[in-house]
Structure 1
Amino acid sequence: MTMKKRRSGALRGLAQVGTRKKPDGSSFGDVLESLGDRSFGWGFMLVGFMNMLPLPPGTNMVLGLPILFFAVQMIFGMKALWLPGFITNRVIARKRWRAGALTALPLARPLSRLTRVRLLSVFQGKAERPLGLLLLVTGIVLCLPIPLTGWLPAISLFVTGVGLVEHDGAIVGLGIVIAIAAIAVAVAMVFAIYFGISYAAQ
């Protein structure tokens, strides 16, 4: 008897959305409700991924703003991600959801091999609140126009988001390490710019 391979949380979420038996499709509110506590992970993962793309300089100052909104909700201990009604009421046709799920499969399948449910203490009690604070600082770093500091925050947000979606505390820990490194690089760049300007002014 062969054991059925465990599918990732990301794949389960996409499949659930794509197979909802609603003739007009599913709203974003339906999606958030079905994802539950995984919704924060999806938010961080998607925004992090967008900021990892080769976009024009300065784009991260706008695309990074949702991270601040998500992180503040985590700090306040909200159980699921809240979005305004004009977003949650939007309905996406079933065909478009299915197309999106199929597009994401090449990324989701490798992730399912790397992740598993572990170190659940990261997701219990008030442990997510300090994580939200760290992600808030990381989001601020992402939005600031500091040279050479755009990719690391985006990568940390993406990795942390994957860990939250999959309930994988080890992956969340890796995202935390990358986030701390991103903040350290940003601080170092600020000091370098400050002392460089001070030296040039002498």
Structure 2
Amino acid sequence: MTEGRTRALSDVLDQIESSAHGESIAVQEVVDKLGRKSFASLMLTFSLISTSPASAIPGVTAMVALIVFALAVQMAVGRKSVWLPGFVMHRQLSTQKLCKGIGWLRKPVHFVERFLRPRLQFLLHRPWFFLPLLLVLGLTLFMPFMEVIPTSGSIASAVIALFAAGLLTRDGGLVLAAMLLLSAIPVAVWYFGFSG
């Protein structure tokens, strides 16, 4: 069980890669591949896309913010199956850039997986679970504006990826790390957006 959870992140990358075909892939295909009940897997998938070089595609950060917002709201209200609006589900992603992003992510993901284990699991249950979830919701509201500030959108997506990875692997330590990293985002936005 523990070994399976620590491989959960690589498994998600494998599933995305196996669904990639043709010149582009629709968001709906990714959702169907991972399963409409896999909130954490879907949140991890799209936040990783926005963290990778694939985030260079105009509008990807804003799209990911919308998807993560919708997922977080549905998780908060206890919905059992994922719903996303049609215009999001029909959005096409470049297969080439998606696969390039997956390849770029594999090394850091393998590195992180070595340290994963179930811990601080109280953070994954109500009422504590609402704290990181509300922080993620707040973060997604600012992400569309981060596209104009280099790296800030990727940092935000990395925070969400850590949170989702913590849910997948039952590692509250990753959830805690996500909350700590969240404090670095205003600093990054200020530094890259307003310094010099």
TM-score (norm 1): 0.59
Q: Tell me, what secondary structure is at the counterpart of 2:56?
A: coil
Tell me by how many angstroms 1:123 deviates: 1.7
Aligned mates of 1:71, 1:64 — CA distance in 2? 10
Question: Residue 160 of structure 1 is aligned with which of 160, 163, 173?
Answer: 163
Instruction: Give the number of equivalent residue pairs.
Output: 173
How far apart, CA to CA, are the structure 2 residues paired with 1:40 and 1:108? 16
- Unpaired runs of 5+ residues, structure 1, are 20-26, 90-98, 194-202
1:110 maps onto 2:102 in alignment:
no
Contact preservation (8 Å) 1:11, 1:108? yes
Secondary structure of 1:109's match?
helix
Paired letter, 1:49: T
Q: Is the 8 A contact 2:67 2:84 kept in 1?
A: no
Residue 151 of structure 1 deviates from its aligned partner by 3.8
Report the residue type matching 1:33 in the other structure: G
Q: 2:40 — aligned with what?
A: 38
Question: How far apart are 1:166 and its partner, in Å?
Answer: 1.9
Structure 1 position 174, deviation (Å) = 0.6
Matches for 1:48-63 after TM superposition, within 5 Å: 48-50=50-52, 55=56, 60-63=61-64
> Equivalent residues in 2 for 1:13-162 (5 A)?
13=12, 28=30, 30-33=32-35, 36-43=38-45, 45-50=47-52, 55=56, 60-79=61-80, 81-83=82-84, 103=103, 105-145=106-146, 147=149, 149-162=152-165
How far residue 171 of structure 1 moved from its aligned partner, in angstroms, is 0.8
Per the alignment, do residues 68 and 77 of structure 1 end up closer, same or farther by CA in structure 2, a change over 3 Å counting?
same
SS in 2 for 1:117: coil
Q: Percent identity?
A: 21
Note if contact 1:71-1:136 (Cα within 8 Å) is conserved in structure 2. Answer: yes
Answer yes or no: is the 8 Å Cα contact 1:73–1:81 preserved in 2.
yes
Structure-1 residue corresponding to 2:96? none
Structure-2-length-normalised TM-score: 0.61
Match of 1:175 among 160, 175, 178: 178
**Per-residue deviation, residues 13-53 of structure 1 (Å, max 9, x unmatched):** 5567889xxxxxxx545534387353354245334424x65
